[in-house]
Amino acid sequence: MSNNTTKADNSLPDPRWLAERALPQDGEERRESVPKRRRARSVTVNLAESPLGWLHARGHLTDRQFDAGEKLRADWERANLAPSVTMRWDAASVAGGKRAAPLILNETEAQLAARLRFDQAIDHLGSDLSDIAWRIICGGEGAPVAEKNLGWPARSGKLVLKIALDRLANFYRLPG
């Protein structure tokens, strides 16, 4: 029985959602005199990693810039939650008594507050910076894809994104 559980445990998929893909060999088309390599190279890609996380992990963004982007993404996700369709019983008043104000926001109020923060953050960025920020942070596009979709020159998106993240960090009043 222990052999069966060992086999079952080994067959579980890796929880990190990694994928390996072969990379093209360098210089094969240019020089025919160079012998072909025997082993294909591969790269491991974390498919669950966000473009913002990728830039931060490779040292392209500061912690403050990354935190600002994550705050905007969290507000965006919270603002787009589906409304609750069941009745809320926690707000029912008691006959003859005073109802105390709730200490926390209910789901709908939290969604509205997040939507307000998101809209204010995008307005604070302005039309020039909000496009690249939304595409990379909220839309999940990589910098090269966002640059192409916006019609920008190559490698310009990362610089503009860093400016937008600095402005977002000021908006969210992050220390730094």
Q: What is the pLDDT of residues 101-158, one digit of tens each?
A: 556 778 788 888 999 999 999 999 999 999 999 999 988 899 999 999 999 999 899 9
In a domain, 155, yes or no: yes
**Dihedral, CA atoms, 170, 171, 172, 173, nearest 10 degrees?**
40
- Per-residue buried b or exposed e for 122-139, using 16+ beta carbons within 10 Å of the residue's own CB: beebeeebbbbbbbbbbe
Mean pLDDT of the chain: 77
The total of structural domains in the chain comes to 1
Separation CA 51–CA 142 (nearest Å): 5
Which residue is listed with tokens 């993240």?
A: 165
Backbone φ and ψ of 21, nearest 5°: -135, 140
In a domain, 114, yes or no: yes
User: What pLDDT was estimated at residue 174?
Assistant: 95
User: What pLDDT was estimated at residue 6?
Assistant: 45
Separation CA 147–CA 131 (nearest Å): 10
pLDDT-based confidence at 49, cuts 50/70/90? confident
Question: Taking Cα atoms as reference points, which of 132, 135, 117, 139 lies closest to residue 163?
Answer: 132
User: What pLDDT was estimated at residue 81?
Assistant: 44
In a domain, 91, yes or no: no
The pLDDT of 90-97, averaged and rounded, is: 56
The CA angle 26-27-28, to the nearest 5 degrees, is 100
In a domain, 89, yes or no: no
Q: For residues 23 and 133, which has the higher predicted lDDT (pLDDT)?
A: 133
Tell me whether strands 18-22 and 42-46 are parallel, antiparallel or unpaired.
antiparallel
Question: Taking Cα atoms as reference points, which of 69, 67, 43 lies closest to residue 158?
Answer: 69
In a domain, 24, yes or no: no
User: What pLDDT was estimated at residue 82?
Assistant: 40
pLDDT-based confidence at 25, cuts 50/70/90? low
In a domain, 164, yes or no: yes
**55 is in which domain, residue-wise?**
50-84+106-171
Q: Distances in Å between the alpha carbon of 55 and those of 62, 97, 108, 127, 155?
A: 9, 55, 33, 23, 13
In a domain, 18, yes or no: no
